[in-house]
A and B are shown apart, each in its own frame.
Chain A
Amino acid sequence: MPDFLLELFSEEIPARMQVAGVKDLERLVVGGLSDRGLLFEGAKSFSGPRRLALAIAGLPAKQPDTREERKGPRVGAPEKALEGFLRSAGVTLDQCSKQSDAKGGFYVAVIAREGRATAEVLAEIVPEAMAKLPWPKSMRWTAGTTRWVRPLHGIVATFDGEVVPFEFANVKSGNTTFGHRFLSHGPIQVRRFEDYEKKLRDAHVILDAAERKEIILHEVKQKAFALGLELVEDEGLLDEVAGLAEWPVVLIGRIEDDFMDLPPEILRTSMRTHQKYFALRSPGKESLADRFAVVSNMAARDGGKEIVAGNERVLRARLSDAKFFWDQDRKRSLESRVDDLKNIVFHAKLGTQYERVERIEALAGEIAERIGADVAMAKRAARLCKADLTTGVVGEFPELQGVMGRYYALHDGEAPEVADAVRDHYKPQGPNDAVPSAPVSIAVGLADKLHTLFEFFRIDEKPTGSGDPYALRRAALGTLRLIFENRLRLSLLESGLSDDLLEFFVDRLKVVLRAREIRHDVVDAVFSIRKDGDFVRRVDLIEALQNFLKSDDGSNLLVAYRRAANILKVEEKKDNRSYDGRPDPKRFATPEEGALFEALSNAMPQITDGIMEERFGDTIRVMAKLRPPVDAFFDEVIVNAPEPELRRNRLLLLSRLRATLHLVADFSKIEG
């Protein structure tokens, strides 16, 4: 079956947009095909600096024919009705048949559609898909009002080797493309994916980003190995450089000795963010080697000598700047920089960074006391934690905030715990970042995050569905990870957690717990009973409850709870009153009522104590023991007895069952 090949050839697409761009293109084109009844065997997509390509294999030559029968008005219906029907169905009267049912005859329109040629459908789908591509940023150029990521220069579109004719942004589709900007000359004619990929390779273009990544990784590793070095792996950088070269060529450059005593983080950041170089190191060593790997997009005539020399020179200039700042920064203590924070606004409504630090300091002291960390050290670290924002290196490399603070703190002779906390209070920065475990770091980290959350909630700058400019979700997730991974026993309510912030935390908690396969409805059920800022305690109970619900006893008890709750709901509504209160044991007419009452009376204090004393296993066992008397009650007793007194008493007994289980969680919130 025939294949479709599409290539969109443009000026350089930003590296970070290529992969998502071609995935969106694939989704839109594939979606358009299946909407129009065109199935295929497989689709592959490729992206690079100057082209997005799509290869769809095994398409039929045309759409399937369709036949639809549409029921119309009765025979003898008013003329107008019949006309309207014919118009909407797009048929004439002689294309309709007559059928009849019990009430008489009616018209049926037979609408037969012949499938269109696939090429014709593609010519319609592709420009639509191109127009719909959701680029993060797009631009106009000379092609009228059309927007695209960068100016588009060519479209290859062939179906079964023949051009699929259409136009987008004043560019006509065809079968011509171009190779590497400098290593290839003149147009290239293509017919199908196979010769397209091969001809591009001959023209110094590796189409597939995954293959470019492999080449880069292989070459870097091999060249490092030849020097007795190894690569410092960096997946994000690899993705980026693969999007900056069509013909990756790895070259090795040297870092001058003068710069090798700079902190390795400065070296790496300088190389990575500005220059996109890979760092190398001796096997098994932390410190960096005096070499870097640069991925060029050029097989130069001189084997890359000039390119290496140029890159070395740029790095030298960058590192001279960094070294200048590093030397300057250490001429002043961090302590002396705290006052400078008065000149930096944190947020228009929240004052300066200095005021922020004062509040973090106070909070860090409180938290340190509650988690048993050294209070003086925590306060000291908190005081210094933002001071590096005024340093030259952090001005140049904002991502080194904290990291530089630690170096300067150590240089000033601060305690190592304090210096570490200055660095680590930003952690965890993402789901893969480690969580600090040193008590002083935990105290300052929590204080920083909680302060941010308190303050922005106070001024009503909460995250919305689309935006979270102050990274409050990350702060809340970080707080939860600090608490769980260190099993910190402290109630956030004591720190002044507002109701809406507690709710925000519970939402984040569900995200965290989902990874541990804990159900969000169980979280809701437990949190809706009692406001509790001790998340470790709450989650232990949630886990115990979820395990119980998975057991036979648990699922049975849940069924019984629902039955009781439903009966109560119906009867309470009917009687327009609530059945809260104590049943009268003297009015029990069956042994099952008495047995259930006794079981509940025993269970209530045990459950309350179990939860108070955090013996959640015991609490669950107590609940499990309720199952036989509950089952027996429902088997033998009719709640809605004809005698009003008997009925009332039994409803009170059911409400007591509900109240007992609600000591643990609101079971009505549990789904499934």
Chain B
Amino acid sequence: MPKARTFQDLILTLQNFWAGQGCLILQPYDIEMGAGTFHPATTLRALGPRPWRAAYVQPSRRPKDGRYGENPNRLQHYYQFQAILKPAPDDIQEIYLKSLDAIGVDPGLHDIRFVEDDWESPTLGAWGLGWEVWCDGMEISQFTYFQQVGGIDCDPVSAEITYGLERLAMYVQNVEFVYDLAYNEHFRYGEVFHQNEIEQSAYNFELADTDMLKRHFEDAEKECKALIGGNRKMALPAYDQCIKASHVFNLLEARGVISVTERAAYIARVRALAKGCCEAWLASPMGEYKPRYAAHAEDRS
């Protein structure tokens, strides 16, 4: 198997691989979020009885991890590649290992291991058991069997696999400084993102208007509650507001204006929103769709 030589090769290879496993290849969600798990294609689709398989790249923003473009591998904006399979196939570990082979990690030359690492997201009220996957001592993926999301049991259980793309690419390309990665044959990663990291770090740590952000948080919270309050069960738009609140909270934290006690309270508020959205989702058709014209359904089969 040839190596995924460039950053975008890596993405294309993973997309092809997971498409071959029957996954929908979705596109990034168009709201800022801290991790691919927040994408409704994972959070909400992990709930309820309906089978689901999807894979997508998700730009992930961690305002606190900004290092003004100076740190070799820490970024406030990076890419996760995420695959979610529900129910988790019996041979999901084997499938995952094949994906490593596909991107050029030869298991005959490397030391690949599954090391205990249980996953928990206090803001989503979600947790699962699984591992971080090590390749020669480096964590290259997170592997989780979802147990709960929004405080609700996942039944059936989904398997979620997350690849940190930059880190994996640095490994495959043997690069020490993330910005030196070859994005494709013509551009370096730094040409795409270095300036972004400098400016966004300044925004996250110094410039973001905290009073405005606090208002945004309140607004998003209010809107979210309004969309799922009473008899309204607008799970999807409400969940958008929940993601927004979560990101605004991350920004406020990076700006250092949230004390330890306030922090716990903010997390509890976002968790309450997430829980409400998940409950609304379960009370909804959960994505059910019957083709409007029979012919289309026949075409498909």
- Chain A residues with CB under 8 Å of chain B are 11-12, 14-16, 49, 137-142, 150-151, 153, 181-182, 244-245, 275, 277, 294, 296-298, 300-302, 306-307, 309-311, 313-317, 320-321, 324, 343-345, 348
Determine if A301 and B113 form an interchain contact, defined as CB atoms under 8 angstroms apart: no
> A317 vs B97: C-alpha distance in the bound complex, in angstroms?
25
Q: A141-B145, A300-B108 are in contact. Are A11 and B137 (CB under 8 A)?
A: no
Indicate whether B136 reaches chain A with its CB closer than 8 angstroms.
yes
Determine if A244 and B137 form an interchain contact, defined as CB atoms under 8 angstroms apart: no
Indicate whether B156 reaches chain A with its CB closer than 8 angstroms.
yes
Query: Which chain B residues lie closer than 8 Å to A310 at the CB level?
Result: 110-111, 135-138, 171
Query: Which chain A residues lie closer than 8 Å to B97 at the CB level?
Result: 181
> A301 vs B111: C-alpha distance in the bound complex, in angstroms?
11
Interface bits B68-95 vs A (CB < 8 Å: 1, else 0):
0001110000000000000111100100
Q: A302-B109, A348-B261 are in contact. Are A140 and B87 (CB under 8 A)?
A: no
Determine if B111 and A307 form an interchain contact, defined as CB atoms under 8 angstroms apart: yes
Query: Which chain A residues lie closer than 8 Å to B110 at the CB level?
Result: 298, 300, 306-307, 310
Given contacts A142-B90, A345-B261, 11 further A-B contacts (CB under 8 A): A11-B114, A12-B114, A137-B129, A139-B145, A139-B157, A142-B87, A244-B115, A245-B113, A300-B110, A317-B176, A321-B71
Determine if B109 and A301 form an interchain contact, defined as CB atoms under 8 angstroms apart: yes
CB of B101 to closest CB in A, whole Å: 11
Query: Which chain B residues lie closer than 8 Å to A348 at the CB level?
Result: 261
CB of B175 to closest CB in A, whole Å: 10
Q: A142-B88, A301-B108 are in contact. Are A275 and B114 (CB under 8 A)?
A: no
> A105 vs B189: C-alpha distance in the bound complex, in angstroms?
100
- Cβ contact of A294, chosen from B71, B137, B176, cutoff 8 A: B137
Query: Which chain A residues lie closer than 8 Å to B261 at the CB level?
Result: 345, 348
A-contacting residues, B127-169, CB 8 Å: 128-129, 131, 135-138, 145, 147, 153, 155-157
11 contacts between A and B (CB under 8 A): A12-B115, A139-B147, A140-B145, A150-B129, A182-B107, A244-B113, A245-B113, A300-B108, A309-B136, A310-B111, A313-B138
Q: A11-B114, A244-B115 are in contact. Are A311 and B72 (CB under 8 A)?
A: no
Residue of A nearest to B139 (CB): A314
Shortest Cβ-Cβ A-B pairs, 9 listed: A310-B136, A14-B116, A12-B114, A296-B111, A311-B137, A139-B129, A345-B260, A298-B111, A314-B138
Residue of B nearest to A304 (CB): B111
Determine if A275 and B118 form an interchain contact, defined as CB atoms under 8 angstroms apart: no
Query: Which chain A residues lie closer than 8 Å to B153 at the CB level?
Result: 140
- Output the residue of B116, B129, B156 with the most chain A CB within 10 A: B116
> A11 vs B109: C-alpha distance in the bound complex, in angstroms?
22
> A12 vs B118: C-alpha distance in the bound complex, in angstroms?
13
Indicate whether B27 reaches chain A with its CB closer than 8 angstroms.
no
- Cβ contact of A313, chosen from B155, B176, B259, B260, cutoff 8 A: B176
Residue of B nearest to A348 (CB): B261
Query: Which chain A residues lie closer than 8 Å to B176 at the CB level?
Result: 313, 316-317
Query: Which chain A residues lie closer than 8 Å to B107 at the CB level?
Result: 182
> A314 vs B115: C-alpha distance in the bound complex, in angstroms?
16
- Cβ contact of A275, chosen from B89, B137, B145, B147, cutoff 8 A: B137
Determine if B72 and A317 form an interchain contact, defined as CB atoms under 8 angstroms apart: yes
Indicate whether B44 reaches chain A with its CB closer than 8 angstroms.
no
CB of A500 to closest CB in B, whole Å: 28
> A48 vs B246: C-alpha distance in the bound complex, in angstroms?
40
Determine if B116 and A315 form an interchain contact, defined as CB atoms under 8 angstroms apart: no
Query: Which chain B residues lie closer than 8 Å to A275 at the CB level?
Result: 137
Query: Which chain B residues lie closer than 8 Å to A313 at the CB level?
Result: 138, 176
Query: Which chain B residues lie closer than 8 Å to A150 at the CB level?
Result: 129
Determine if A12 and B131 form an interchain contact, defined as CB atoms under 8 angstroms apart: yes
Residue of B nearest to A277 (CB): B137
CB of B168 to closest CB in A, whole Å: 12
CB of B179 to closest CB in A, whole Å: 14
Query: Which chain B residues lie closer than 8 Å to A15 at the CB level?
Result: 115-116
Determine if A314 and B136 form an interchain contact, defined as CB atoms under 8 angstroms apart: yes
Indicate whether B273 reaches chain A with its CB closer than 8 angstroms.
no
Residue of A nearest to B167 (CB): A317
Query: Which chain B residues lie closer than 8 Å to A153 at the CB level?
Result: 90
Residue of A nearest to B93 (CB): A11
> A505 vs B39: C-alpha distance in the bound complex, in angstroms?
53
> A300 vs B135: C-alpha distance in the bound complex, in angstroms?
13
Query: Which chain B residues lie closer than 8 Å to A138 at the CB level?
Result: 129
> A317 vs B137: C-alpha distance in the bound complex, in angstroms?
12
Indicate whether B55 reaches chain A with its CB closer than 8 angstroms.
no
- Cβ contact of A306, chosen from B88, B109, B145, cutoff 8 A: B109
CB of B146 to closest CB in A, whole Å: 9
Query: Which chain A residues lie closer than 8 Å to B112 at the CB level?
Result: 181-182, 298
Determine if B116 and A317 form an interchain contact, defined as CB atoms under 8 angstroms apart: no
Determine if B116 and A16 form an interchain contact, defined as CB atoms under 8 angstroms apart: yes
Query: Which chain A residues lie closer than 8 Å to B260 at the CB level?
Result: 343-345
Q: A137-B118, A139-B129, A141-B157 are in contact. Are A151 and B145 (CB under 8 A)?
A: yes
Determine if A307 and B113 form an interchain contact, defined as CB atoms under 8 angstroms apart: no
> A204 vs B71: C-alpha distance in the bound complex, in angstroms?
40
Determine if B73 and A317 form an interchain contact, defined as CB atoms under 8 angstroms apart: yes
Residue of A nearest to B97 (CB): A181
> A464 vs B108: C-alpha distance in the bound complex, in angstroms?
51
> A138 vs B130: C-alpha distance in the bound complex, in angstroms?
10
Query: Which chain B residues lie closer than 8 Å to A11 at the CB level?
Result: 93, 114
Residue of B nearest to A14 (CB): B116
CB of B155 to closest CB in A, whole Å: 8
Determine if B137 and A314 form an interchain contact, defined as CB atoms under 8 angstroms apart: yes
> A310 vs B73: C-alpha distance in the bound complex, in angstroms?
15
Residue of A nearest to B171 (CB): A310
CB of B93 to closest CB in A, whole Å: 6
- Output the residue of A181, A244, A245, A310 with the most chain B CB within 10 A: A310
- Output the residue of A12, A49, A153, A348 with the most chain B CB within 10 A: A12
> A133 vs B93: C-alpha distance in the bound complex, in angstroms?
24
Query: Which chain B residues lie closer than 8 Å to A297 at the CB level?
Result: 111, 113
> A309 vs B71: C-alpha distance in the bound complex, in angstroms?
21
> A306 vs B90: C-alpha distance in the bound complex, in angstroms?
31
> A297 vs B133: C-alpha distance in the bound complex, in angstroms?
13
Determine if B137 and A320 form an interchain contact, defined as CB atoms under 8 angstroms apart: no
A-contacting residues, B222-244, CB 8 Å: none
> A245 vs B155: C-alpha distance in the bound complex, in angstroms?
32
- Output the residue of B73, B93, B137, B176 with the most chain A CB within 10 A: B137
CB of B104 to closest CB in A, whole Å: 12
Residue of B nearest to A16 (CB): B116
Query: Which chain A residues lie closer than 8 Å to B109 at the CB level?
Result: 300-302, 306-307
Residue of B nearest to A298 (CB): B111
- Output the residue of B87, B110, B147, B171 with the most chain A CB within 10 A: B110
Query: Which chain A residues lie closer than 8 Å to B147 at the CB level?
Result: 139-140
Q: A137-B129, A275-B137 are in contact. Are A142 and B111 (CB under 8 A)?
A: no
CB of B52 to closest CB in A, whole Å: 14
> A150 vs B90: C-alpha distance in the bound complex, in angstroms?
12
> A277 vs B93: C-alpha distance in the bound complex, in angstroms?
26
> A316 vs B174: C-alpha distance in the bound complex, in angstroms?
13
> A151 vs B108: C-alpha distance in the bound complex, in angstroms?
25
CB of A546 to closest CB in B, whole Å: 47
A-contacting residues, B183-233, CB 8 Å: none
CB of B114 to closest CB in A, whole Å: 4
> A557 vs B150: C-alpha distance in the bound complex, in angstroms?
69
Determine if A142 and B156 form an interchain contact, defined as CB atoms under 8 angstroms apart: yes
> A317 vs B147: C-alpha distance in the bound complex, in angstroms?
33
